[in-house]
Amino acid sequence: EIVLTQSPGTLSLSPGERATLSCRASQSVTGSYLAWYQQKPGQAPRLLIFGASSRATGIPDRFSGSGSGTDFTLTISRLEPEDFAVYYCQYYGDSPWTFGQGTKVEIK
């Protein structure tokens, strides 16, 4: 099983600032089967990034993903008010599909 560890647990930033979220895998993620999701309170998760760096349909270009092997990063270039939420990384290569514990991006 691939265990995903996200850091930091909470990121306190102001609108307009840059957010850098980390996701580290316990073993190499083959095929770059790494996704990022955004979840707001009371809502279902929303797919942001798949294949480590490809934006999903309709996702603004201020969201970008990078990384390979065991280290992955989600970057939000300039935080908009609607970006304050919890972000999860996910391994989706095979069973068991796993999620990181989440990073909360909160308003400073």
Partner 1 sequence: QVQLVESGGGVVQPGGSLRLSCAASGFTFSTYGMHWVRQAPGKGLEWVAVISYDGSIKKYGDSVKGRFTISRDSPKNTMYLQMNSLRAEDTAVYYCAKKSEGGTVAAAFDYWGQGTLVTVSS
Name the minimum Å distance from CB 105 to partner 1. Answer: 15
Q: How far is CA 78 from CA 33, 48, 83, 106, in A?
A: 26, 16, 9, 14
Nearer to partner 1, 17 or 98 (CB): 98
Per-residue interface string for the shown chain with partner 1, residues 18-37, x marking contact by CB under 8 A: -------------x-x-x-x
Nearer to partner 1, 70 or 99 (CB): 99
**Per CB under 8 A, 90 contacts partner 1:** yes
Strands (E), the chain: 4-7, 10-13, 19-25, 34-39, 46-50, 54-55, 63-68, 71-76, 86-91, 98-99, 103-107
Q: Which residues here bind partner 1, judged by CB under 8 A?
A: 31, 33, 35, 37, 39, 43-47, 50-51, 56-57, 88, 90, 92-102
